[in-house]
């Protein structure tokens, strides 16, 4: 019985640092995406999403990877408007190769002087190359 408890304790001791490292990796990916989007690096913004990604944003049609990337690249290239995101991560839960992130994106659109607060939940998966990517996301715009 003591051996079983020792094995269980050892496995838990390794799991907690691994989860923390994975959460840090996911946080870093989200922060890098924010920097890439705000800097207009259209070639980099799609790397956060899995090729199997599906998005659900209240009031809009469901989108797949290609549609998500097209929308992001179109926003970055829009000559009439400047889009700028700020990120607030509320929670990162990691279990194996799946993680769930509760977050809020705040989008500022200039010169329209529009602010959109968008709470949501992203589901990440660690993919074959070791990178965490979004496979599903759900979001909505808060009423202001």
Mean pLDDT of 101-111: 97
Instruction: Give the global pTM.
Output: 0.85
> Alpha-carbon distance 74 to 70, whole Å?
6
Mean pLDDT of 61-87: 96
Sequence-ordered list of residues with C-beta below 8 angstroms from that of 81, at least 6 positions apart, any chain: 75, 109, 110, 111, 112
What pLDDT score was predicted for residue 3? 57
| Full set of structural domains in the chain with CATH | 2-139 (3.10.450.50)
> Alpha-carbon distance 57 to 64, whole Å?
12
- Rg, Å, the chain Cα set: 18
Helix (H, G, I), strand (E, B) or coil at 131: coil
């Amino acid at each position: 019985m003591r051996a079983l408890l020792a094995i269980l304790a050892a496995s838990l001791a390794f799991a907690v640092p691994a989860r923390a490292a994975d959460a840090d990796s996911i946080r870093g990916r989200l922060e890098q995406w924010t920097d890439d989007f705000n800097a207009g690096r259209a070639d980099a913004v799609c790397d956060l999403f899995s090729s199997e990604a599906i998005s659900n944003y209240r009031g809009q049609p469901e989108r797949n990877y290609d549609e998500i990337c097209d929308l992001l690249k179109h926003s970055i290239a829009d000559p009439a408007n400047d889009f700028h995101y700020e990120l607030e991560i509320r929670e990162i839960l990691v279990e194996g190769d799946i993680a769930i992130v509760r977050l809020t994106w705040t989008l500022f659109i200039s010169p329209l002087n529009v602010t959109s607060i968008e709470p949501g939940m992203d589901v990440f998966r660690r993919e074959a190359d070791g990178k965490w990517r979004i496979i599903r996301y759900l979001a909505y715009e808060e009423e202001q």
